Amino acid sequence: MSATGTAAPPVETLDSFLERGLALLESRSRRRSEQARTWGEGSDDVNLIDDGADGPDAPDVLAARAWQARKLDAGFGWVTGPPELGGAGLPTHYETAFKNLEAGFDLPDPSILAVTLHMVLPTVVRWASAQLRDALAPRLARAETVSCQLFSEPEAGSDLAGIRTSAVRDGGDWVVNGQKIWTSGAHFSDIGLIVCRTDPDGPRYRNLTAFIVDMHDPGVEVRPIRQLTGHSSFNEVFLTDVRIPDTHRLGEPGQGWAVIISTLMSERSSIGTGNSTKTVDPGMLLELVRRHGDGSALTRDLTARAYTASRLVERFGERCAEELRSGSDPGPRFSIGKILLVDALRRTSELIEHVLGPRIVADTGEWGTFAWSIVSLEQPSFGIGGGTDEIQRNIVAERVLGLPKDRS
């Protein structure tokens, strides 16, 4: 019963929820199995990372935003979000079940909005003031506002506690100066979640504060970083005398480290369960081996290892989904999912390079050969983004297995 004595409305059954979801998906697209890729037809692109190279008006960015808005209106865009902010207010396993259903359809690339929906939105809901949360969360959930995450810096590496970008209090504002790097999607974002040093002499981990910054501010300069692939999905961002109102602060001054941890846990949860990650089409990969493999014992071994590693990623995601369905939170164990994903991509890359040989470094124009080189070029970034492999293994060792910490 509610505080007023009125019974709470019954939660929609999962079967009914998925039935409605299936109707929405079928009204938008066809199942992937109904339009399976045929070798030699259409594009042979196997890119794993969306680059959004053309900025906010790029067709893939616009398509992702439009699909998110449509999902939200139908009750599937923010399944677990509070109804007062535009969410559906349903259990976590409803969201997981719909995402599994959605993966079977040919739809706009979800990774474009991964930072907005899976990292910044949860952080805003948890840490923003009520006024900022109520104004910003519905816009993020609808993708009317797209966000990036401004954490890493050139001289800090993986040591986020060592960042130098400063925010100095000036009346009702904070004046920010500094540089961020490896910022995914900054070139098509409207706002950014930024962490700055607000107490230059304060104790480590208690001298940082988080804010929401306007990426269209004239003091914000975004410079795309050209990668090995030729794409520019990452950026360096320079901030010069950027004024951020104190009302756009997340948490209290000095709570920036807690905001960082909260955001990174959301990120690792998203990656660990596969909610924000593109993967290699296993059917296309096996067809590549069938057409270009030499049938040797080494080829069979590499194929088995790559396939097994990919299946482990899937099974771990299913296990996490089952735990969430039962009301349990895997917490730091999400880091295992990221370790498994990186391992699977590395093994896939090894298989591709072995099977194709020189054709992966020299474009002969043959369909389905040189295009695979992008997987080998992109896969190292997965071992860095969202926390390096070393950080993930430390988390598993210390927080999952209970092993003692390394000596400083």
Q: What is the mean pLDDT of residues 154-176?
A: 90
307: number of Cβ within 10 Å? 18
Task: Say whether 147-254 and 34-142 share the same fold.
Answer: no
> Is 60 exceeded by the pLDDT of residue 53?
no
Catalytic residue among 95, 153, 236, 267: 267
Q: Two tokens at 307? A: 């396939």
Query: What are the pLDDT digits (tens) for 96-130?
Result: 889 889 988 989 988 899 999 999 999 999 999 99
Domain boundaries of the chain, sorted by first residue: 34-142, 147-254, 278-400
Rounded to 10 degrees, the C-alpha dihedral 32/34/36/42 comes to -100
Q: Two tokens at 308? A: 């097994």
Residue 42, sorted as left (phi over 0), alpha (psi -120 to 50) or beta, turns out to be left
Fold held by 147-254: Butyryl-CoA Dehydrogenase, subunit A; domain 2 (2.40.110)
**Lookup result for tokens 């349903």:** 90
Query: What are the pLDDT digits (tens) for 285-322?
Result: 999 999 999 999 999 999 999 999 988 988 887 787 77
pLDDT band with cut points at 50, 70 and 90 for residue 133: very high
Rounded (5°) CA angle 281-342-233: 75
Distant-in-sequence contacts of 319-325, Cβ < 8 A, 24+ apart: 320/272, 320/273, 321/93, 321/96, 321/97, 321/100, 321/273, 324/92, 324/93, 324/96, 325/91, 325/92, 325/93, 325/96
**Selection from 345, 351, 254 nearest residue 298 by Cα:** 351
pLDDT band with cut points at 50, 70 and 90 for residue 151: very high
Q: What is the 8-class DSSP label of residue 226?
A: P
- What pLDDT, on the 0 to 100 scale, is given for residue 37? 65
**Selection from 348, 289, 283 nearest residue 313 by Cα:** 348
Give the global pTM.
0.84
DSSP three-state, residue 277: coil
Q: How far apart are CA 128 and CA 227, in angstroms?
A: 34
Active site residue 267: yes
Most confident stretch, 11-20, 209-218, 254-263, 374-383:
209-218
Is the separation of the CB atoms in 196 and 209 below 8 Å? yes
Q: Which residues pair with 167 in a beta bridge?
A: 176
Who's near 131: CB < 8 A, 6+ residues apart? Answer: 247
**Amino acid sitting at position 338:** K
Who's near 195: CB < 8 A, 6+ residues apart? Answer: 150, 151, 160, 163, 165, 208, 209, 210, 211, 256, 259, 260
Is the separation of the CB atoms in 193 and 215 below 8 Å? no
Q: How far apart are CA 342 and CA 353, in angstroms?
A: 17
Domain 34-142 sits in CATH at 1.10.540
pLDDT band with cut points at 50, 70 and 90 for residue 49: confident
Residue 219, sorted as left (phi over 0), alpha (psi -120 to 50) or beta, turns out to be alpha
Q: What is the mean pLDDT of residues 369-394?
A: 87
Q: Two tokens at 4? A: 């007023």
Query: Phi and psi (nearest 5°) for 33?
Result: -65, -25
- Superfamily of domain 278-400, CATH level 4: Butyryl-CoA Dehydrogenase, subunit A, domain 3 (1.20.140.10)
Rounded (5°) CA angle 364-369-375: 125
- What pLDDT, on the 0 to 100 scale, is given for residue 123? 95
pLDDT band with cut points at 50, 70 and 90 for residue 5: low
**Selection from 93, 146, 15, 36 nearest residue 273 by Cα:** 93
